Structure 1
């Protein structure tokens, strides 16, 4: 399905669109580059989703408590709350400090840039305290609302006797994701938000305090396996965004492939 008024989606092999742009970047494909693939979430797409998908008025929060991951991972600053007592009147102010990476969050484009090309530099972002370059400002203007599809890899793997440690590096093959989509008769639509359940949060909740302390110093978590085939599939599926219940949507390891989509952690 193509969106009226938009350029046809180029093949991944034809990226980048502009001479001198970083590998696999799609700059110039959409009018609002700050939105990236969130451009798929047009008013028409969101309206159709609300009209066709809503069955009840039940609302479900997908975000973790901001103090759930404790201590914060990889040396980050954790959550801190101070309740300011304004006695003698019964008035209290909550003073909260935390790194946005310490719990559920969306990764903005400024979080992890093209490292070698340096099209956006640290100076571009930090020279102005009010800089909005590649931040969340464009996203928050309308918020993110759309049709979500859930890939429950945990249950699917359990049914097939696939054993893995949900707190360590475990690449989920894209072929397994395709199998789940086929078995569950899921239809992917342009602008869908892909949710991946890996089991990380469920496993983390069972850890002791000492085990959490040890985990906070280690890198590695389950996620979609990286590779050309995975990137091709994500690109062709035209997801508006991808999220997961683990440290990163993709399998966490030292090297990362360029990501053409917005991504976040739904936990």
Structure 2
């Protein structure tokens, strides 16, 4: 059964009839800049902290210089060490395309193409002349601190005795499989959770040679293993209470490395 949630029923979406299908624009007010992160109340964060048992820390960051050749021929990572002789002091200079390494896909990145609007109906002009819906708003609100539910697709397939998966191909994970993966964990989702989905992307990418990585970055369409772009998947995410999704996943036929829910 879906968790108790303050969200309206999925059948009531879209809330903004001028926005994209399935949107919840206006749910948190006409000037909202946080989306589902509004659900991260002190009570939710405190409840998440009570889940800690081992106290072990695991970094989810990928290397800054990966992928070696970012998709769509975007520029790669550059680093320079600057020694401030005669003093024994070093400065570091970096040049990085934010669509590489580990990153949050914020509300400013990819808009509703049909109406040329971003979250809440903001225009490109509004984005360029102000700091509206920037990820700094998330920081000002206290950041993203909550319980994460991990679904490991490669391990799930192995446990089921099914063929292993190669993440650098355009295949999708259906809502039925996502639900079964969640069932296998024994975890009951609750409003305010974050979904972590492992597809094996970094494992398979790091196994590539330099020429293969170069060819991957030059592809006109970046297609990888991810969740199915379907109403069923969207409804499952909505009804599960997730406020954010992290992993290499696909929504509306495009890849997102990390994303906060904006519907």
For the superposition of Structure 1 and Structure 2, which TM-score range results when normalised by the shorter chain? 0.7 to 0.9
2:54 match: 56
CA distance in 1, matches of 2:70, 2:96: 10
**Does the CA-based 8 Å contact 2:223-2:255 persist in structure 1?**
no
1:157 match: 157
Aligned to 2:178, the other structure's residue is in SS state helix
- 1:121-132 mapped onto 2 (5 Å cutoff): 121-126=123-128, 128=129, 131-132=130-131
Aligned to 1:149, the other structure's residue is in SS state strand
Structure 2 residue 18 is the aligned partner of structure 1 residue 16: no
Question: Per-residue CA shift, 1:86-138, capped at 9, x if unaligned?
Answer: 10111111111111111110011111111112333222222x2xx21221021
CA distance in 2, matches of 1:198, 1:71: 20
Moved more, 214-223 or 162-171: 162-171
1:120 match: 122
1:250 match: 250
Change in Cα spacing, 1:33 to 1:252, as seen in structure 2 (3 Å) is closer
CA distance in 1, matches of 2:154, 2:15: 38
CA distance in 2, matches of 1:19, 1:206: 45
For the aligned residue pairs, the C-alpha RMSD in angstroms reads 2.3
Question: Per-residue CA shift, 1:50-96, capped at 9, x if unaligned?
Answer: 1x211133211101011121022221122111111210111111111
- 1:1-267 mapped onto 2 (5 Å cutoff): 8-18=6-16, 20-31=18-29, 33-50=32-49, 52-118=50-116, 119-126=121-128, 128=129, 131-141=130-140, 142-159=142-159, 160-218=161-219, 219-244=222-247, 246=248, 249-250=249-250, 253=253, 261=261
**Does the CA-based 8 Å contact 2:19-2:112 persist in structure 1?**
no
**Does the CA-based 8 Å contact 1:85-1:93 persist in structure 2?**
yes
Question: Displacement, 1:163?
Answer: 4.1
Question: Displacement, 1:180?
Answer: 1.5
Aligned to 1:196, the other structure's residue is in SS state strand
Question: Displacement, 1:236?
Answer: 1.0
Aligned to 1:181, the other structure's residue is in SS state helix
Structure-2-length-normalised TM-score: 0.87
Structure-1-length-normalised TM-score: 0.86
**Does the CA-based 8 Å contact 1:25-1:260 persist in structure 2?**
no
Structure 1: runs of 5 or more not aligned: none
Moved more, 78-87 or 189-198: 78-87
